[in-house]
Structure 1
Amino acid sequence: MGNSTAAYGSRAGIKTAVFLPHYTSEEKISAIGIHGAEIFKIKTDNYSDMKNAILNRAEKLKIRVVSGNGPIRIEGYKSTAFELFEQTGGNLPDYIAVPTSACGHIRGIFKGFRELKEASIIEKMPKMIAVQSKNINPIVAAIKNNREDIIPALNKNSIAEAITTGRPYGGREIIDKIYKYGWLAEDVSEEEIIRAQKLIAEDGFFVEAASATTAAAVKQLIEMGKIKASEKVLLMLTGSGLKDLESVKDYTYNINKVDLDNIEEWMTADE
C-alpha cells in the first residue's frame, strides 16, 4: 500500500508521506523511496497503535490518509472477485484463502462477489478463509473461542510482517461474516509459514511470508476435515517474495564458483 500511495502521489504531483513500523523490510522501503515519498519509520512494536495514532492526528490536522480499510481502497479490492470470475470462466472455487490483517482485502473480495450475485451473474459466492499468524491472530482467536468481539494481539511480531495488525478496525465486521456465511478462520505458526513458503517455491512461486500463510492454513484445515478433498481452494498469493528477502535469508542452497575456462566441465558433470 505504501508503494502504490507513493507511486500515485508522485504521478499526481502530490506531496506524500508514508509511515512504517520500524521492522518494515528494506525492499519495501526502497520501492517506496524511489517515488520520492517522505518516509517515516516509527519506533513501535504495535502496528495497530501506530496506525490509530496517525489516523487520529491526521483527522485533527485535516490531512488525507490512505489506509487499509478506506472505502475507495475496498472498491479496488473488489476487482479481485471480478478478475477471478473472468479468469475462471465462472467456474469459481469453493473457498478463497486470504491473508488477513486490517481486513480490507477480504472485505473487498466479498463485496465483489456479493455484487456479482446481486446482479444475477453468479448463483453462489465462494466462502472466505481468514488466515493469520498464530503470533498475531485477533480474528482467528475470537472465532476459536466462540466470541463475537476482537481479542487484541499486541506487542508481538511475526515473520509475516504484512499481516501484523493486532487490533483491526474491520475485525468485528469480518467476525460477523465468518459466522453468518460459514467462512473458515485459521492461524499458523512461524515454522509452518516457513515450510509453506518453501513448498510454494517448489511450484515456481516466490511469495512473501504473509502470502505463504494461506498454504499452511489450508493444509491444516484439510487435515482437520474442514475442507473436503473434492473442494476447490484458491490461495491469495498477492505478495511477492522480493518484497521481503530477509525472511528467506536462512534458506540453504548451493552456489558453485567456477572459472570460465572450466565451465563446460561443470555443465556436463551430471551427464
Structure 2
Amino acid sequence: MEYDLPSSLAEKLQSKKFPVSTSIWEFDELLPVKTEYSVTMGEGGTPLLSLDYSRKEENLSNWFLKNESIQPTGAFKDRPLAVAVSFAKEHQLKGIITASTGNTAVAASAYAAKSGMYCKIYVPQTASSEKLQLMHVYGADVVPIEGNFSEAYHIVKEEAVKTQLFNVTSTFINPIAIEGNKTVAYELWYQLQKQVPDWIVVPIGAGPLLIGVYKGFQELKQLGLTKKLPRMVGVQAENVSPIVQAYREGSAKVSGWDKGTGTSAVGIADPLTNYPEDGTRTLSVIRESEGTAVRICEKELLQERKDIASKEGILLEISAAAAVTAVKKIRGSLQEKDIVISVGTGHGLKDLSITK
C-alpha cells in the first residue's frame, strides 16, 4: 500500500516525542484505518534493550533487542492484527479467519474477542500447547490439522472466499495487516534519536515483518527524515529454510521447501509450499537492502534461548532467539560501532514446553 506523504506529516513526525506509553496508533496517518475504529490493547511502544552481556562477548557496542515479547499477547503479531481487526470493524465485516503456527492465531483470537468478532483458526497440531490453550481461552473456533502451515494456508484461502470471513493470515495475502509491521521502524527511529540502524535482524517464515520494517524506513526516507536505509537480515531455522537456501544458491526465486518441517522454531517453520512467491518477495528485499540471510541449527536455537535468559534476563521464544544467534553468525561483516537491532519477536512462555 502507498500513501500520500505531505511535508506537513514530516514536520509532525520530526517534532513528535517518543514517550514510553506510545502505541502504533501514534502513527495513524501512516495506517489504513481511521483511528475511531481502532481496536487496541496497548500494542506497540516496545522497549529497545541493550544486550549488555552479548555486546561484550561479540565486541559490538550498539547491539540492541527490540523486545516485542511484551506486547499484549506476547508477540509482534499484535501490531498487524490490531490493524487488520480494526479494518474489519471499520468495514463491518462479519468475522476473521487465519492460518497460523501460533502467534498470529493467538493475536487474532484476542483482538477478535476485544472487538466482539467471530474468529476461526486453522493451526498445525505441532503448534505449542501453550499457544493452542491461549486460542481456546480467547474463545476462537480452533481447527487443528495434521499438515504443516502451508497446508493450513491453502485451506483458509479457500474457506475465506466461501464464507466471506476476512483472511488475516500473516503472509502477504492481507496487505492491511502488513501495514502494522511498519510501526517497528518508526519506533526504532525515535528510540535511536532519529538514527537508522545499520543492520536489522528478523526471524522470518514468509517474511512480512522484515518487509514491513524495511517499508517503514523507506517511508521515513521518502519524507526526507533520513537519507539511509538499514541492511535487512532474514533468519530461518536450518530445518525449514527455503528463503535462506535460495539466497545461498544465488537464485532469483524461492522454491517451496520439501525436506520436512521438523524444528523447535515452530513460529518460523513455513515451507512456503503453496506460495513460494512470498519468499521471493522477501528475498528481493534482503538483496535490495544489501543484507543477508542466515539459517540456525537446532542445537544453536535451543542453546541461544537458554543463554539469553540466563545472561540477559530475557525469555524469548525459540524463533525469536534466532535473531540473536544470527548476529554472531554475521559478526565478521559488522563494524564494532554499527547499530545492530535483533527483533525479539515473541515471549518464551509461549513455547516453553518445546525446550529439550
Compute the TM-score of the two structures, normalised by the length of structure 1. 0.86
Tell me what 1:41 maps to. Answer: 144
- What is the rounded CA distance, in whole Å, between the counterparts of 2:312 and 2:116 in structure 1? 41
Q: How does 1:39-188 map to 2 (within 5 A)?
A: 39-44=142-147, 46-68=148-170, 69=172, 70-154=174-258, 155-167=260-272, 168-188=276-296
- SS of 1:30 mapped into structure 2: helix
Q: CA RMSD in A?
A: 1.5
> Which secondary structure does the structure 1 equivalent of 2:345 belong to?
coil
When the two structures are aligned, how many residues end up with a matched partner? 246
Deviation at 1:220, TM superposition (A): 1.1
The answer on whether the counterparts of 2:319 and 2:345 sit within 8 Å (CA) in structure 1 is: no
Equivalent in the alignment of 2:301: 193
User: CA offsets per residue over residues 217-244 of structure 1, 9 Å max, x none?
Assistant: 111111xx22233322110002100110
In structure 1, what is the equivalent of residue 321 of structure 2?
A: 212
Are the equivalent residues in 1 in contact too, given 2:200–2:343 (CA < 8 A)? yes
Change in Cα spacing, 1:3 to 1:187, as seen in structure 2 (3 Å) is same
Q: Give every structure 1 segment of 4 or more consecutive aligned residues whose post-TM-superposition deviation is greater than 6 Å.
A: none
Question: Once the two structures are superposed, what CA deviation does each residue of 1:36-71 show, in whole Å capped at 9, x if it has no partner?
Answer: 111111111x32122123212322443321111221
2:268 maps to a residue whose letter is: I
| Offset of residue 169 of structure 1 | 4.8
1:222-241 superposed matches below 5 A: 222=331, 225-241=332-348
The reply on whether 1:23 has 2:130 as its aligned counterpart is no
The aligned residue for residue 92 of structure 2 is none
Do the aligned partners of 1:25 and 1:243 also contact (CA within 8 Å) in 2? yes
Unaligned ranges ≥5, structure 1: 251-271
Q: CA deviation at 1:170?
A: 1.9
Aligned 8 A contact 1:28 1:244 in 2: yes
Question: In structure 2, the residue corresponding to 1:148 is in which secondary structure?
Answer: coil
Separation in 2 of the partners of 1:36 and 1:178? 38
1:263 corresponds to which residue?
Answer: none
2:330 to 213, 217, 221: 221
The DSSP-based 3-state class of the residue aligned with 1:170 is: helix
Tell me, what secondary structure is at the counterpart of 2:166?
A: coil
CA contact (8 A) 1:77 1:108 kept: yes
The question of whether the paired residues in 2 share the 8 Å contact of 1:135 and 1:153 is answered with: no
Distance 1:5 1:53 in 2: 17
Query: Take 1:245 and 1:33, find their aligned partners in 2: how far apart are those partners?
Result: 18
Which range moves more in the overlay, 57-66 or 111-120?
Answer: 57-66
Q: Distance in 2 between matches of 1:52 and 1:122?
A: 40
Q: Percent identity?
A: 30
Larger Rg: 1
CA deviations on 1:126-170 (whole Å, 9 max, x unpaired) are 111000011111111001000011132233211000001111552
Q: Which runs of 5+ in 2 are unaligned?
A: 1-103
What's the secondary structure of 2:118's corresponding residue? coil
Query: Is the contact made by 1:102 and 1:169 (CA closer than 8 Å) also made in structure 2?
Result: no
Which structure would you say has the larger RCO, counting Cα contacts within 8 Å and 6 or more residues apart?
A: 2
Instruction: State the one-letter code of the partner of 1:217.
Output: A
Give, as a single letter, the amino acid of the residue that structure 2 aligns with 1:164: A
Q: Output the CA distance in 1 between the equivalents of 2:287 and 2:182.
A: 21
Structure 1 contact 100–106 (Cα < 8 Å) conserved: yes
